[in-house]
Structure 1
Amino acid sequence: MSSDATPDPYTDPMAFGQRMQILRTKRGLSRPVAAGLLGMSPSWVKQVERGEIGMPKLPIVLRIAELLRVRDLSDLTGDQSAPVELFTGPGHSRLPAVRDAVNALTLNTDQAAPPTEHLAARLAKAWTARHEAPNHREVLGELLPGLIRDAQLAVRQTDSASARRAAQAVLSEVYSLAQFFIAYQPDPALLWRVAERGMVAAQESEDPHAIGVAAWLAAQAHRDTGPSHFDAADSMTLEALAYMERFLSEADDRVRALAGALQFEAAYTAARRGENGAAWGWWDKAKATSKKLPPSYYHPVTSFSRAIMGAHAVTVAVELRAGGESVRQAVAADATAIPSRPRLARHRIEEARAYHLDGQSETAIATLERAHEAAPETIRYNGYARRIVLEETESKHPARRQRAAVLADQLGLLAA
């Protein structure tokens, strides 16, 4: 390796500031940008990275960890005695079985594949089960291995071009379902492998819905990888929107909803960049698309609907770091209209981020408790929720500290 290569912050012991600088550089963030997002000055960032200021207190460390999307807190602090995973949640007990199903070749088998129509019906039931279950990862982890194997077999055993396209569409959306299970678990390579296979199968299917879903998920994967991938996220979103435009005049509600979901993804990425006008402009477009859907319609994959737009507004405001506006949108949003338990829990987490950003920590903790009631497996794997809970375990207010400690225990954050 070249002597001027970027060192790996996870191997040799080094100071907090050195780790912060290396991780910031790998994220593609300049000091001024990082400082602005942290609410600090560029000179403060420089002093910390040079070791002129010691490691900050936990609330600031957690803000830095969120910004740099570290795998666990010890990657930033260097303290390996009690690693705390943040944006990578714990590995689910069913992850190995799902991984094995993805990696299997299904070449040497005498098993006959189920009809594509049967697979599509099973897939629809799996999506319904996910939305209804508080332990949705457990439910998906049980269903996915069989669905993946059967969908792979269906593609291999087709006897015509049209049948193969139909089977590829189902396989693509099975991979999309798998991404909801694998996300934020400690196997990013598996997540990207499934995302890429889903996109290939979608393109082979020539089905606009399958293509839209695969692009929607790929854009999220790029955005969550960090600022250096924001352009890739935008490219994926805009290309998919341009492709789907030709179908919208005669599209069914599923395809129209996907266009709206992609418009919101553009808003989300713009908000992550700090582009206020672009973010709300794309949100307005998504809102207009939602009004073309029936009032009760709810897309089974993206959750896009009229009901979700309030939740989306909270996310845009939070990502723009607008505390007062975030709370205003949280108060205005109708959470009771969200029928999916995991999506409701995700919205509660976004509300908690809004209140925490606005300095309303007591309300933030109460809102995270409501997220846990809706879907424990959502909050357990959410880095933002974990960061807020950990920060509040250091609160100077005993009652708030106690509530945060209970949540931290429920989320597995106190395990050594």
Structure 2
Amino acid sequence: MASEDERAQVGNTVRHLRERRGKSRAAIAGLLGKSEDWLKKIERGQRGLPLETGVKLARVLGVKDLAEIYGPEVSAPVFQAERPTHPGAEEVGHALTDYFPADRNPASPQWLQAAATQAWQDWHASEVQRSASAKVLPELIRAGRSALQAHEGTDRRQARAALADVMHLGQAYLAWQGDAHHWYWLTVDRGRSLAEDADLPTAYATGLLYSAFALRVTGREEQAVDQLRQAAESLEPYLETGPDDARGLWGAIQLACASTKARHLGDPSAWVHWEDANRMVSRLPDDYAHHHGFSAGHVALHRTWLAQALGDATEAVRAAEAVDIGAIPSRNWRASHLVHVARALHQQRDSGALIPLIQAGRHSTEAVQFNLAARELIGDLAQRGPMSIRTEAAKFAERLGIAA
């Protein structure tokens, strides 16, 4: 955690950069999805500026290198990248919003849950998870909506839980897409509402988990942490005698809390949640994996993610060397992990940062294409990286459709 003097120095620098651009606190904070009071506390040194938020602020302020904000100890070029939109997003949006008559032969809740589970498995197994999901989401959303109209009692509650899981997949699919934010928020709202009405503890906790994912990207990190705490507490009565999936989901929530505190709040207490997740994974079978992001591999890769987010690039790279990437049961998560490794290397001004990005693309091209941090890093390496790698980085950017 930054010292009081370091916070004051960063705050003064931020205020100077903002005033140099002739922008008000309200204007800059609004572009970040933050409050004016939040920025005031940053500028007065009353609050630290986490690295991930600092990158976003740097883009808004037109800063070319993080050293302009943090000083020479934290130096990394800042590249502006556009968010792509998947070609299937519009059809998914229509399934969410269109009116259609009741189905005379509605899907059973059991079929709907099995189909949702298979769709999640395909998301993790595919190199092009968004394309795989785009093929099935419209049908699943329409089938789930029809099932809610047709069923009653227990069947309807089970259908709600299944459709909530479909909505969570829709949220994952629509995340980070440039022209899909309105549909994204529909999946967030409906996913949580359906989960709350399903009268199932794991569905309720999962709804809070995905709601927290949405909150933390809109500048409401503290509220996200509160929801994650609430989700974890709702599962505690089931941790001793309940099913493995209750324990697995609790572990996923701890990792989400850890990453939220590290990436968005710069809070080293993130490690406490990582330790809790690490203890929980030891209570599960060696090959256990929860489709919402929990396994031994997930716990291992979060050591890299937390260290990188908290600014300790050396520890992030060291932790990454111990990760068996093949043990991570998801191509999407493998690619995301390698992007974090690349970011840590880039923080060290290591020209080898391009290597894990290329490896990430081999695991999942779409995971890299739709990862804003990856797009920015690839574009930056193509424009301002060492001359020895610029050409290769530019070719990689072109293959992924990234303007560089």
TM range (shorter): 0.7 to 0.9
Deviation, structure 1 residue 59: 7.2
Question: Structure 2 vs 1, CA of residues 166 and 62 (structure 1 numbering), >3 Å: closer, same or farther?
Answer: farther
Partners of 2:181 and 2:198 in 1: how far apart? 26
Deviation, structure 1 residue 341: 1.0
- Give the letter for the 1:169 counterpart: A
Partners of 2:381 and 2:23 in 1: how far apart? 24
Task: State which of 157, 161, 170 in structure 2 corresponds to 1:165.
Answer: 157
Residues 1:317 and 2:329 are matched in the alignment? no
Question: Structure 2 vs 1, CA of residues 412 and 396 (structure 1 numbering), >3 Å: closer, same or farther?
Answer: closer
Deviations 1:125-178 (A, max 9, x none): 21121111111111100100000000111111013x211111111011110111
Describe how 1:253-402 pairs up with structure 2 within 5 A.
253-271=244-262, 272-276=264-268, 278-300=269-291, 302-360=292-350, 362-395=351-384, 397-402=386-391
Question: Structure 2 vs 1, CA of residues 406 and 31 (structure 1 numbering), >3 Å: closer, same or farther?
Answer: farther
Corresponding position of 1:97: 91
Contact 1:62/1:391, CA 8 A, preserved across alignment:
no
* Alignment RMSD (CA, Å): 2.8
- Give the letter for the 1:255 counterpart: A
Q: Which runs of 5+ in 2 are unaligned?
A: 1-17, 71-78
Task: Say which SS state the counterpart of residue 341 (structure 2) adopts.
Answer: helix
Per mean C-alpha deviation after superposition, the further-off stretch among 267-276 and 136-145 is 267-276
Describe how 1:98-137 pairs up with structure 2 within 5 A.
98-106=92-100, 108-137=101-130
Corresponding position of 1:141: 134
Question: Structure 2 vs 1, CA of residues 90 and 62 (structure 1 numbering), >3 Å: closer, same or farther?
Answer: farther
Partners of 1:214 and 1:326 in 2: how far apart? 30
Partners of 2:367 and 2:344 in 1: how far apart? 18
Which aligned segments of 4 or more residues in structure 1 are displaced greater than 3 angstroms?
18-24, 32-39, 55-63
Residues 1:25 and 2:29 are matched in the alignment? yes
Contact 1:293/1:306, CA 8 A, preserved across alignment:
no
Deviations 1:304-326 (A, max 9, x none): 01121111111111110111111
Task: Say which SS state the counterpart of residue 308 (structure 1) adopts.
Answer: helix
Partners of 2:401 and 2:151 in 1: how far apart? 46
- Give the letter for the 2:260 counterpart: T
Deviation, structure 1 residue 103: 0.8
Describe how 1:173-252 pairs up with structure 2 within 5 A.
173-186=165-178, 187-226=180-219, 229-252=220-243
| Count of aligned pairs between the two proteins | 364
Task: Say which SS state the counterpart of residue 111 (structure 1) adopts.
Answer: coil
Q: TM-score, normalised by structure 1?
A: 0.81
Percent of pairs with identical residues: 28
Contact 1:327/1:358, CA 8 A, preserved across alignment:
no
Contact 2:50/2:310, CA 8 A, preserved across alignment:
no
Deviations 1:191-244 (A, max 9, x none): 122111111111111112222222111111111222xx0111011101111111
Contact 2:51/2:310, CA 8 A, preserved across alignment:
no
Corresponding position of 1:412: 401
Question: Structure 2 vs 1, CA of residues 18 and 94 (structure 1 numbering), >3 Å: closer, same or farther?
Answer: farther
Contact 1:393/1:405, CA 8 A, preserved across alignment:
yes
Partners of 2:129 and 2:245 in 1: how far apart? 23
Deviation, structure 1 residue 351: 1.2
Contact 1:123/1:147, CA 8 A, preserved across alignment:
yes
Deviations 1:251-274 (A, max 9, x none): 211111110111112211221312
